[in-house]
Structure 1
Amino acid sequence: MKKYIFIPALIFFLLGIQSCKDEVVNNEVVIPDPVQSPPTSSFESTNTIAWMNLIIEIVSLEDIPAPECSRLYGYAGIATYESVFRGIDGARSLGGQLKQMPQMPSPENEKYDWLSVMAATLKAVVSGILYEPAQHSLDLINDLYSNQVQARKDTIEEVVVNRSVIFGEQIGNAIIEWSNSDDFLSTRDLSYTPPPRTEDPSYWEPTLPGQHALEPYLGTQRSFCLQSADMCAVPLGFPFDTIPGTSFYEEGMVVLEKRQNLTIDEMNIAFFWEDKNGTGQPPGHWVSITNIIVNQFSLKLDEAAKIYALVGAAIRDAFISCWESKYRVNLLRPKTYIRDYLGEPNWNPLVVTPPFPEYTSGHSVVSGAVAKVLTSFFGDNVSFVDDTHGNQPGLRNRSFDSFYDAADEAAWSRMYGGIHFTSGIVNGVEQGILVGQEVLSTIHFN
């Protein structure tokens, strides 16, 4: 709002001689508003989606495992929001809300271009979070950044873009400094030897020669929103057993019988959600779904930034919660159980059993968590077509009536794949929903 200050006519005359910068209205000096930056809501979300797709591409090219790339998706989502929230009316930083996240740099009282701020922030964050990245990945990051910034220079004043880039770099560097204390780096060189099954027959063991436990210390790393890594854990509910008729024995039989009676659709579901190496991994599948929904709702950058922050936090915290359960419960996989106790020494699942304990299912936990935050944001009756795999043969597009519909299918795909027991699937979804609720209870945008 413009401010009006009344002055006597003579003083006005003298001031008018000395300055021609102030506007004059009815013998009053009008002090101009401070330079205003265009609001974040004035921008499309196209550039943000391009960054998320690039991260998926890099994860695919470098075969970054799901628990590790969950960190990349998580920080990228947080960084997206943090780079543009100052252009959202009434919005607040996530600094001081997420665990140990400090206050972020503040801008000067100047005009900023939020697309340029975001590009510079994400360039710094994606490059900095990647662990030992390939040069090709860094080139892809630099290319996207350069193209987006040049497009802005072709559109608005270059001085505004340059100022915005500097501010974005400051935010990105602050996020990287914060990330360095989350215990990811400190666990890179730690060794791990699985406790032998001679101590307890329920213990997990690798199911293929040469397999090594993947990310055994993930559950000790800092989350974004969880007060403790085990706060959302769901107990197994019954003890390990090999006696026919017991609950655990029946769980093994369910996997065995399902493998023997798979339908074509169930096999397609198993492969659609497998998200193995050469894809964006299970967390990237949910980022892809988020991209689909952002496009479907034609979200502007302000709303898109919020949803990427929620999804990113949900993905990362889901994996921390799940991996804490996995290595604490340390439960064997169906392949081991069926071969050792159900009289099928040569049995194999439909998909490859990954190198970490069974309980709970990572697909289930991350799907439950993301479905929770997406449902909170968009509602529980959102129909969509998941074209994550480009409708290629064997991975045809699938349609869903809600986010929980997709989450349930993703979870049960691991039963069809033969790599999870029923409890790991059902309890995993419940665990993920609890994680999603913690994210929603922690993050406040206003």
Structure 2
Amino acid sequence: MKKLFFLSASLFIILSFLLTGCDKFPFHEEKDKVTTKPMSGQLLADWITLHLKLIRSTTGVGTPGLSRHFAYSSVALYESIVGSNKQYKSLGGQLKGLTTLPASPESKDVCWPASANAALADMLRAFYVNTPGGTARIDSLETAYVQKLSTAGYSQASITAGETYGKEVAQAILEYAKTDGFATVHPPYVPPVGDGLWEKTPPAFAAPAVPYLGSNRTFVEGSITQILPTAPIPFSTDPSSGFYAMVKEVYDASAQLTAEQKTMANFWDDVPNGKYYTGPGHFAAILRQVITDKKLSLLESAVAYAKMGISVNDAFIYCFQVKYKHNLIRPITYIHKYMNQPTWTSTINTPNHPEYPSAHSSLCMAAATALSEALGSHISFTDHTYDDLGFEPRYYKNFEAAAQEAGISRFYGGIHYKASVNAGLLVGKKSAQLVTNRLQFRK
């Protein structure tokens, strides 16, 4: 009798282990019907991992374009699974211009992870079609997840239903993306000329980047008047002026940077040069880590991802409206021309767009504010984003602490005044707050 009880108990434990989902499977199962079970956010974490690899293999696409990829992919993911829980609400009719979305499947036999898998795969295929090896990588991960879903007990019919819906959602979001103004052909931009205005900067002396980005459609209704920081300090070359003091602060700091400050500047460089993931990618990597560490569900991970992606996209647009309104001179130009230091160089390269406000500060604080709202403001983490580049992991007490460091890193890097950093942080926070206040994810 004891042996029979032992065998029964053992079989029960093994069955429970298989149904609850161990590390072998990318999602957590329950004992009820497989098509209605909660889904693990590890699926999103794995797709973020691939997205970051694709960024490293992609050339010719700047940070604004790559942040847009994250934003629309995050919306597609959320819409592909929002029908799995009646307590959540579609973003259709809430996002500006998003009026056409496929109807949620009527059948209850839908594998929602398959829908998410297909939606993310189609979004990345569209965005990285010209990336060497990109399509093969995307196909491989998509196929691997389909196989895992089948192995976990989902029926082929439910997987097919999920895939069909996910692809329909992705196509609708891709059509929506075409109307945001990013692909609009504008006339050549001629920057204004005058004292205190932006000029091309060394070493590349590249043309101004995305000068018309500020005219793109934001995801949520809002006005630049709700986001605008105060105007920058009036330009002056007088050594007793506030402007001169602001520039000299950058110059003096560059001459006495500590090893920690140099590390900070390089850790948050985030330029898409085959090594870094961009600022939006850096925070996506942070979210990936939190998803795994906290074992978040797929739906709560998707909500956080969407809030972050949308907030960063809108913060970028508002930031560049302000940049090209003021066209403020960069530190390196001022130091060369007005401080008689023609050989001075910054720790990291100056981006090819105007100074005020700091775009990196804007997008990082937008991401941090959105993640804080979605997941909590007291989540601490150790950032392993660039372990493979030889950087030591960096600890942060919360998301906003990371964004604050990302902002000040631009000052230590010699490419921004402190006033521009602070203005950027404000733009990012206000942009994210506008997004989270306007969008309703739960009914």
TM-score of the two chains, using structure 1 as the length reference: 0.87
Which residue in the other structure is 2:177 paired with?
A: 179
- The equivalent of 1:114 in structure 2 is 112
1:237 CA drift (Å): 4.2
Q: Alpha-carbon deviation of 1:116?
A: 0.7
Cα distance in structure 2, aligned partners of 1:290 and 1:134: 24
Aligned-partner Cα distance in 1 for 2:412–2:195: 25
Quickly say closer, same or farther: Cα 1:134–1:56, change in 2 above 3 A: same
User: What amino acid maps onto 1:355 in structure 2?
Assistant: N
Residue in 2 that maps onto 1:162: 160
Query: What fraction of aligned residue pairs are identical, expressed as a percent?
Result: 30
Paired letter, 2:52 = I
How far off its partner does 1:391 sit? 5.7
Match of 1:12 in 2: none
Q: Which of 418, 422, 425 is the equivalent residue of 1:422?
A: 418
Partner residue in 2 for 1:16: none
Deviation at 1:236, TM superposition (A): 2.6
State the 1:210 CA deviation: 4.6
Matched, 1:202 2:199: no
Which consecutive unaligned segments of at least 5 residues does structure 2 have? 1-31
Q: Which amino acid aligns with 1:204?
A: W
| Rounded Cα–Cα distance in structure 1 between residues aligned with 2:290 and 2:352 | 32
Could you list the per-position Cα deviations for residues 164-213 of structure 1 after superposition, in whole angstroms to 9, with x for gaps in the alignment? 111111111111111111111113x64223223xxx21111111245121
- Contact 1:230–1:321 (8 Å) recurs in 2: no
Residue 248 of structure 1 pairs with residue 246 of structure 2: no
C-alpha separation between the residues in 2 aligned to 1:379 and 1:91? 19
Partners of 2:248 and 2:35 in 1: how far apart? 61
CA distance in 2, matches of 1:238, 1:307: 36
Q: State the secondary structure of the residue aligned to 2:332.
A: helix
Is 2:157 the partner of 1:150? no
Question: How far apart are the structure 2 equivalents of 1:145 and 1:134?
Answer: 17
DSSP-derived class of the 1:93 partner:
coil
Structure 2 counterpart of 1:216? 211
Helix, strand or coil at the partner of 1:62: coil
- 1:12-411 alignment runs, 5 A limit: 38-39=35-36, 42-63=38-59, 64-110=61-107, 111-130=109-128, 133-154=130-151, 155-187=153-185, 190-196=187-193, 200-208=194-202, 209-229=204-224, 231-276=226-271, 277-278=273-274, 279-390=276-387, 392-393=389-390, 395-411=391-407
One-letter code aligned to 1:251 = M
Residues in 2 aligned to 1:374 and 1:161: alpha-carbon distance in whole angstroms = 31
Q: Partners of 2:146 and 2:197 in 1: how far apart?
A: 52
Q: 1:143 & 1:215 partners in 2: Cα distance?
A: 34
Contact preservation (8 Å) 1:230, 1:324:
no
Letter in 1 for 2:436: L
Q: Structure 1 pair 226/416, CA: closer, same or farther in 2 (3 Å)?
A: farther
- 1:6 is aligned to none
- The superposition leaves residues 338-397 of structure 1 with CA deviations (integer Å, 9 ceiling, x where unpaired) of 11111211111011111111111111101211121122223332211000002643x211
Q: Superposition RMSD on alpha carbons, in Å?
A: 1.8
* Residues 179, 289 of structure 1: alpha-carbon distance in 2 compared, 3 angstrom cutoff: same
1:435 aligned partner: 431
Q: What secondary structure sits across from 1:202 in the alignment?
A: coil
Q: Matches of 1:231 and 1:213 in 2, distance apart?
A: 26
Q: Which moved more, 1:119-128 or 1:434-443?
A: 119-128
Residues 357, 421 of structure 2: 8 Å contact kept? yes
CA contact (8 A) 1:383 1:401 kept: yes
Contact 1:282 1:363 in 2 (8 A): yes
Instruction: Tell me if the contact between 1:60 and 1:281 (Cα under 8 Å) persists in the aligned partners.
Output: no
The 8 Å contact of residues 54 and 131 in structure 2, kept in 1 or not, is answered as: no
- Measured in 2, the distance between the counterparts of 1:219 and 1:386 equals 31
* Cα distance in 2 between the residues matched to 1:348 and 1:137: 36
**CA 1:377–1:258 in structure 2 vs 1: closer, same or farther (change >3 Å)?**
same
Measured in 2, the distance between the counterparts of 1:69 and 1:332 equals 26
Give 1:65 shift. 1.5
Aligned to 2:3: none
Indicate if the aligned counterparts of 1:37 and 1:112 stay in contact, CA closer than 8 A: no
Deviations 1:221-242 (CA, angstroms, capped at 9, x unpaired): 1111252356412123421111
> Structure 1: any 5+ residue segments left out of the alignment?
1-34
Say whether the 8 Å CA contact 2:361–2:428 is kept in structure 1. Answer: yes
Check whether the contact 2:303–2:374 (CA below 8 A) recurs between aligned residues: no
Give the letter for the 1:168 counterpart.
Answer: G
Structure 2 residue matching 1:340: 3-state secondary structure: helix
Separation of aligned partners in 1, 2:99 and 2:119: 16
1:411 Cα deviation (Å)?
0.2
Distance (Å, rounded) in 1 between the aligned partners of 2:187 and 2:56:
26
The alpha-carbon deviation at position 325 of structure 1 amounts to 1.3
Distance in 1 between residues matched to 2:191 and 2:244, nearest whole Å: 23
Higher alpha-carbon Rg: 1
Partner deviation per Cα, 1:109-152 (whole Å, 9 max, x = no partner): 2111111111111122222244x622421222222112212322
Counterpart residue type for residue 282 of structure 1: G
Name the counterpart of 1:18: none
- Equivalents in 1 of 2:300, 2:131: separation in Å? 32
Structure 1 ranges of 4+ moved more than 6 A:
none
SS class of match (2:57): helix
Shift of 1:426: 0.8
Q: Once structures 1 and 2 are overlaid, which stretch shifts more, 362-371 or 406-415?
A: 362-371
Letter in 1 for 2:353: F
Whole-Å separation in 2 of the counterparts to 1:211 and 1:383: 39
Give the whole-Å Cα distance in 2 for the aligned partners of 1:308 and 1:381.
18
What TM-score do the two structures reach when normalised by structure 2?
A: 0.87
Q: 1:223 touches 1:229 (CA, 8 Å); kept in 2?
A: no
2:140 partner letter: D
Aligned residue pairs total 405
**Further displaced range: 323-332 or 305-314:** 323-332
